[in-house]
A and B are shown apart, each in its own frame.
Chain A
Amino acid sequence: MCGIVGLYLKNPALEPSLGRHLSAMLASLGDRGPDSAGFAIYRDPVPEGAVKLTLFHSDEDYDWAELTRAMAASLGVEIKGTPRASHFVLIAATATETARRWIALHRPDVRIMGIGQTIELYKEKGLPAEVVRRFKLDGFSGSHALGHTRMATESAVTTQHSHPFSTGLDLCLVHNGSLSNHNRLRQWLNRRGVEFQTDNDTEVAAGYFTYRLSQGASLAEALEAGLVDLDGFYTFAIGTRDGFAVLRDSIACKPAVLAETDDWVAMASEYRAIAHLPGADSAAIWEPAPATVYSWTKH
């Protein structure tokens, strides 16, 4: 069980302060998610033909510089990157699959947390207030972001078990709730070529949506299919390249609050997390209805 937050900026003038606002949102939901925290932030798009990966290695002194050099030499393309605590944001001037395959083949112990044109995905064990400090989230700018504070229900407290889970290019998922049929679903997805790193139920949901999308479904169709195939209690927030979506199961026991002003749309498990956003006092506030897809996207 957990806290989830999402912030989507309608007004570009607020982009420099995205990280600061998200940071405060996550810290305020530390009580309902003390084990670990994570966030996906959409920023600094890379040019066409390049790809951005957020990488993680459990060794704090991992030699990212060496990886960068080796990858550049091996692929013969420009590779550059920025370390951020235990993570590394790598930009490769090559196709997505080329970059992904190189990492998998040559650095199998490096985890790819997020991949796409704009997404950066960070997650770690520890109290949310500490996690955001470690990644210096306050200083991030961006167009939109999702975050999560975790109270582990059935799987372990590790970096990899934390949310968000990346479900595909510039896609990510955060979840508040507890699925009840994820074990069989995991095997069903395994047989269809989806691989998992953990025994976490949310990772299964993320893999499920990726699978549906890879089969040609739109995001809305994938989410609608999830209402049928995923059993249990959930509020999901899904991050996409251009926006985000929110979905609650039909029983809708887990909380969800949406708020909107002219400048932003926010989503959180508790209003507390939204209360301090600029203009929150006069924001439209409502709850998403059960079994209904809500989405926002830039045009």
Chain B
Amino acid sequence: MIEIDLDEVDVRAINDRLHKLPPDTNERLWRIVNPKGAHALAVGLDRPIEIEIAGHVGYYCAGMNKAATITIKGHAGPGLAENIVSGTVRVSGNASQSAAASGRGGLVVIQGDASSRCGISMKGVDIVVGGSVGHMSAFMAQAGHLVVCGDAGPHLGDSIYEAAIFVRGKVASLGSDCIEKELTQKHRTKLSQLLESANIDADVAEFRRYGSARKLYNFKVDHAAQY
């Protein structure tokens, strides 16, 4: 376990060191202390290493992550794991807005709440939120899964494409072209897998599924009010 103290070195130094790890590195376990809200920590990683960050992080932690497993013991600022490609990012606390924005793959687990725009523009990432999500979550969500064990704020899935949303609690309102859909066996299986990968114990049957009504897929005057 390699420990890095951000009171001693700066973010550039730690990112540089992580970027320079060879593909077959044996420096696979890392712990970063005293993050104190620093931005762009552990971004652009591309190694199957594990990093624990002890404390609260600022914006864009784990941005564009590939392959790495990053665990934040604390809260995360805006843009957590934005554009993640693969790997896993876990937050024990809450995440600020735009968590996993435009994420392409991998898994993002937020044990607390996830603020507004969670999963905005998502393109394949799987997001599991133990708590609730704020307004405009899954806005223009194209692919992937968003699982919310708590409640969802207004305009959930506004302008959604093919991503699937599962919510256990209350949905304040649905966005344009987002409707409730049947929770089939296929979805239950997937949901079960996602909850398990998030270490969250919850009954699949309590969730409802939401997705695109697909009425906005081609411009039509009759749907002008939805724009």
A253 contacts across to B, CB distance below 8 A: 97
| Closest B residue by C-beta to A283 | B56
B38 within 8 A of A: yes
* Pick from B56, B59, B134: contact of A285, CB under 8 Å: B56
Report whether B58 and A270 are in contact in the complex, using a CB–CB cutoff of 8 Å: yes
A290 contacts across to B, CB distance below 8 A: 116, 134-135
* B-facing residues in A254-293 (Cβ within 8 Å): 255, 257, 270-276, 281, 285-287, 289-290
Report whether B116 and A252 are in contact in the complex, using a CB–CB cutoff of 8 Å: yes
Q: How many A-B residue pairs have CB under 8 A?
A: 46
B39 contacts across to A, CB distance below 8 A: 270, 272
CA distance A253 to B37 in the complex (A): 19
Report whether A281 and B55 are in contact in the complex, using a CB–CB cutoff of 8 Å: yes
* Pick from A270, A286, A289: contact of B37, CB under 8 Å: A270
* Pick from B77, B97, B135: contact of A271, CB under 8 Å: B77
With A252-B135, A285-B56, A287-B96 known as contacts, the answer to whether A271 contacts B116 (CB < 8 A) is no
CA distance A285 to B91 in the complex (A): 14
| Closest A residue by C-beta to B98 | A253
* Pick from A257, A275, A286, A287: contact of B36, CB under 8 Å: A275
CA distance A287 to B134 in the complex (A): 10
With A287-B115, A289-B134 known as contacts, the answer to whether A272 contacts B78 (CB < 8 A) is no
CA distance A289 to B78 in the complex (A): 15
A257 contacts across to B, CB distance below 8 A: 77, 96
Report whether A272 and B38 are in contact in the complex, using a CB–CB cutoff of 8 Å: yes
A276 contacts across to B, CB distance below 8 A: 36
B75 contacts across to A, CB distance below 8 A: 271, 285
Main secondary structure of the interface of B (DSSP, over half): loop
The total of chain B residues at the interface (CB under 8 A) is 19
B116 contacts across to A, CB distance below 8 A: 252, 290
CA distance A274 to B37 in the complex (A): 9
Shortest Cβ distance from A254 into chain B, in angstroms?
10
A274 contacts across to B, CB distance below 8 A: 37
Report whether A272 and B115 are in contact in the complex, using a CB–CB cutoff of 8 Å: no
A281 contacts across to B, CB distance below 8 A: 55
B94 within 8 A of A: yes
Report whether A270 and B77 are in contact in the complex, using a CB–CB cutoff of 8 Å: yes
Shortest Cβ distance from B219 into chain A, in angstroms?
25
Digit string of B28-39 for contact with A (CB within 8 Å is 1, else 0)?
000000001111
Task: State which size class the interface on A falls in.
Answer: 10 to 19
Report whether A255 and B36 are in contact in the complex, using a CB–CB cutoff of 8 Å: no
Shortest Cβ distance from B99 into chain A, in angstroms?
12
Report whether A271 and B56 are in contact in the complex, using a CB–CB cutoff of 8 Å: yes
With A270-B77, A272-B38, A275-B37 known as contacts, the answer to whether A285 contacts B94 (CB < 8 A) is yes
* A-facing residues in B7-64 (Cβ within 8 Å): 36-39, 55-56, 58-59
A275 contacts across to B, CB distance below 8 A: 36-37, 56
B134 contacts across to A, CB distance below 8 A: 252, 289-290
Shortest Cβ distance from A260 into chain B, in angstroms?
14
* B-facing residues in A220-277 (Cβ within 8 Å): 252-253, 255, 257, 270-276
CA distance A287 to B116 in the complex (A): 10
A271 contacts across to B, CB distance below 8 A: 37, 56, 58, 75, 77
B59 contacts across to A, CB distance below 8 A: 270
| Closest B residue by C-beta to A256 | B96
Report whether B55 and A272 are in contact in the complex, using a CB–CB cutoff of 8 Å: no
B78 contacts across to A, CB distance below 8 A: 255
B77 contacts across to A, CB distance below 8 A: 255, 257, 270-271
| Closest A residue by C-beta to B136 | A251
CA distance A276 to B6 in the complex (A): 13
Shortest Cβ distance from B57 into chain A, in angstroms?
8
CA distance A274 to B78 in the complex (A): 16
Shortest Cβ distance from B49 into chain A, in angstroms?
25
Shortest Cβ distance from A14 into chain B, in angstroms?
20
Shortest Cβ distance from A138 into chain B, in angstroms?
20
Shortest Cβ distance from B163 into chain A, in angstroms?
21
| Closest A residue by C-beta to B96 | A287
A-B contact pairs, 12 of them (CB 8 A): A252-B134, A252-B135, A253-B97, A257-B96, A270-B58, A270-B59, A271-B37, A272-B36, A272-B38, A272-B58, A286-B94, A290-B135
Report B's interface with A, CB cutoff 8 A.
36-39, 55-56, 58-59, 75, 77-78, 93-94, 96-97, 115-116, 134-135
17 further interface pairs, Cβ-Cβ under 8 Å (given A252-B116, A252-B135, A285-B75)? A255-B77, A255-B78, A257-B77, A257-B96, A270-B39, A270-B77, A271-B37, A271-B56, A272-B36, A272-B58, A275-B56, A276-B36, A285-B56, A285-B93, A287-B94, A287-B96, A290-B134
Report A's interface with B, CB cutoff 8 A.
252-253, 255, 257, 270-276, 281, 285-287, 289-290
Question: What are the 4 closest A-B residue pairs judged by CB atoms, nearest first?
Answer: A271-B37, A272-B37, A275-B36, A275-B37
